[in-house]
């Protein structure tokens, strides 16, 4: 084992556990767009035929026809999952604003009563899209209504006394600008609060589900410890008898001694599973350790002769190393991740301890085959093995490790290194990591 000092650990790209869906249902948006296309076509025919107003029908119907054709093309290749992403939704709403503005330009501009429909794309954006997008679409809508207030084709009227006035256009322009700003601001504020509540509810449900699965696994572990106790005792007795009967110079002597030591280790593990962890007096020596020492202690049971494990400290210059509680959650969580790296490494594992004034981090790097792309998206869920060719493992180790580390406020990211091998980065807020043990366990 070697110890080295270098620059701080570079941030690792955190891969999401699940791929988030788009903000807008494709089917809903297409339904709204079809209603708009049909409504525009009907309005044009009613005004032109029913009221006898002379409008540039060919050009206006051409604009409506382009929208209909675009809808048909989009429906032939719907997005995967039935939702469109933020960028696609922004493009759709931008097109809708421009298309509506073009129709209003041909039919009287702000003198057209349907000019109020310019609020629709802005309202949709404020409901489902980001603040930046909503501001951009609102600015575009205000620009368009400002242009149409001065430049547009006249709206013909068969009645002289119904001729519009400039004062009416100015008043409608002011009303639309105020409505765009107010509707966008108010709708976004209400929708943002609803989104926050929804996100909080989803996070709570996910946390509860994870805790329930951890509790269920704890019960299964206790039951397994009880059931495996008798056969393991028999194996241990047989192994000791073999060790007593096999001569010391026998080629099988080393194998028998290994069998005895591993059976003893299994007995110790089952004993730990059968009892609740004891509370440790905070005054006990080594109850709190430097972060690098805690990492070496967690890795100690999993070191192998054929795999070199190097420990490196990459703290920010002049910033003291975090001193953290020696909790079972940290030891087992970090130990499992290091064990996973040692198991799949070809020859070397590097464990980097890094810190600065705000954050502490552990990076575990190995030179093995890395994570399968199929596994990365679901890594950390129960019964998902961390690597391809996992040798029949149940896929519970990483799930339990993440659950334990999450209780201590850690964020874990999995990735593959460009030069080959896997990389796992565990990050904590330094204030949370250095908190007393009772506080750390409650987070």
Based on the fold, state whether residues 424 and 298 are members of the same structural domain: yes
pLDDT bin (cut points 50, 70, 90) of residue 354 is very high
pLDDT of residue 362: 94
Pick from 208, 232, 261: which residue ends a domain? 208
H helix or E strand, kind and range, residue 352: strand 348-355
Based on the fold, state whether residues 94 and 173 are members of the same structural domain: yes
Rounded distance between C-alpha atoms, residue 84 and residue 106, angstroms: 31
Residue 16 belongs to some domain of the structure: no
pLDDT tens for 56-74 read 888 888 988 998 998 898 8
Name the residue with higher pLDDT: 264 or 200.
264
Give the chain's largest Cα–Cα span: 120
Helix (H, G, I), strand (E, B), or coil: what is residue 50? helix
pLDDT of residue 325: 87
Pick from 175, 192, 208: which residue ends a domain? 208
Residue 280 belongs to some domain of the structure: no
Based on the fold, state whether residues 238 and 196 are members of the same structural domain: no
Residue 409 belongs to some domain of the structure: yes
Based on the fold, state whether residues 135 and 172 are members of the same structural domain: yes
Name the residue with higher pLDDT: 195 or 136.
136
pLDDT of residue 360: 92
Range of the domain at 183: 24-208
Residue 1 belongs to some domain of the structure: no
Based on the fold, state whether residues 67 and 166 are members of the same structural domain: yes
Residue 190 belongs to some domain of the structure: yes
Residue 5 belongs to some domain of the structure: no
Pick from 233, 249, 274: which residue ends a domain? 274
Based on the fold, state whether residues 218 and 201 are members of the same structural domain: no
Based on the fold, state whether residues 269 and 292 are members of the same structural domain: no
Based on the fold, state whether residues 218 and 197 are members of the same structural domain: no
Rounded distance between C-alpha atoms, residue 33 and residue 42, angstroms: 14
Based on the fold, state whether residues 170 and 316 are members of the same structural domain: no
Tokens standing for residue 377: 């998206």
Highest mean pLDDT among 163-167, 329-333, 419-423: 419-423
343: CATH: 3.30.565.10
Based on the fold, state whether residues 296 and 355 are members of the same structural domain: yes
pLDDT of residue 353: 93
Total domains in the chain come to: 3
CB neighbours of residue 114 within 10 Å = 15
pLDDT of residue 42: 85
Burial class (CB in 10 A: 0-12, 13-18, 19+), 66: middle
pLDDT of residue 213: 65
Residue 49 belongs to some domain of the structure: yes
Contact 123, 97 (CB under 8 A): no
Give first-to-last CA distance, the chain, whole Å. 33
pLDDT tens for 218-252 read 666 666 666 777 787 888 888 888 888 888 888 88
Residues in CB range of 290: below 8 A, 6 or more apart: 321, 322, 323, 324
pLDDT bin (cut points 50, 70, 90) of residue 13 is very low
pLDDT of residue 223: 67
Q: Give the mean model confidence (pLDDT) for residues 152-179.
A: 63
Residue 4 belongs to some domain of the structure: no
Judged against a pLDDT cut of 80, whether residue 105 lies above it is answered with yes
CB neighbours of residue 55 within 10 Å = 18
Based on the fold, state whether residues 301 and 408 are members of the same structural domain: yes
pLDDT bin (cut points 50, 70, 90) of residue 350 is very high
Based on the fold, state whether residues 223 and 267 are members of the same structural domain: yes
């Amino acid at each position: 084992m070697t110890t080295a000092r270098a620059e701080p650990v570079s941030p690792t790209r955190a891969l999401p556990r699940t791929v988030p869906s788009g903000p807008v249902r494709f089917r809903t948006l297409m339904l709204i767009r079809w209603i708009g296309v049909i409504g525009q076509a009907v309005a044009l025919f009613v005004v032109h035929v029913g009221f006898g107003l002379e409008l540039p029908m060919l050009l206006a119907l051409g604009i409506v026809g382009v929208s209909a054709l675009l809808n048909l093309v989009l429906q032939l290749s719907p997005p995967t999952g039935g939702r469109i992403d933020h960028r696609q939704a922004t493009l759709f709403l931008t097109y809708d604003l421009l298309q509506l503005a073009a129709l209003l330009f041909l039919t009287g501009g702000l003198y057209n009563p349907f000019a109020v429909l310019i609020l629709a794309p802005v309202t949709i954006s404020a409901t489902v899209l980001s603040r930046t997008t909503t501001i951009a679409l609102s600015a575009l809508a205000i620009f368009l209504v400002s242009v149409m207030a001065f430049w547009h084709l006249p709206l013909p009227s068969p009645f002289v006394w119904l001729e519009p006035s400039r004062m009416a256009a100015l008043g409608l322009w002011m009303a639309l600008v105020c409505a765009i700003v107010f509707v966008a601001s108010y709708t976004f504020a209400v929708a943002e609060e609803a989104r926050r509540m929804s996100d909080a509810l989803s996070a709570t449900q996910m946390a509860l589900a994870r805790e329930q699965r951890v509790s269920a696994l704890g019960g299964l572990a206790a039951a397994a410890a009880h059931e495996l106790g008798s056969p393991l005792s028999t194996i241990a007795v047989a192994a000791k008898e073999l060790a007593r009967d096999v001569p010391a110079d026998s080629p099988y002597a080393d194998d028998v001694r290994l069998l005895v030591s591993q059976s003893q280790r299994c007995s110790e593990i089952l004993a730990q599973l059968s009892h609740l962890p004891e509370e440790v007096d905070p005054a006990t020596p080594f109850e709190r350790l430097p972060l690098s020492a805690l990492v070496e202690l967690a890795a100690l049971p999993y070191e192998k002769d054929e795999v070199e494990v190097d420990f490196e400290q990459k703290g920010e210059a002049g910033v003291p190393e975090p001193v953290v509680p020696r909790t079972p959650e940290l030891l087992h969580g970090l130990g499992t991740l290091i064990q996973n790296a040692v198991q799949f490494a070809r020859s070397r594992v590097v464990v980097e301890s890094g810190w600065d004034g705000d954050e502490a981090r552990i990076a575990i790097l190995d030179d093995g085959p890395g994570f399968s792309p199929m596994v990365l998206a679901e890594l950390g869920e129960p019964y998902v093995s961390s690597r391809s060719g996992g040798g029949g493992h149940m896929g519970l180790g990483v799930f339990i490790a993440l659950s334990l580390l999450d209780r201590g406020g850690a964020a874990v990211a999995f990735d593959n290194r460009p030069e080959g091998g896997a990389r796992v980065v565990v990050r904590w807020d330094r204030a949370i990591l250095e908190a007393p043990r009772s506080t750390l366990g409650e987070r």
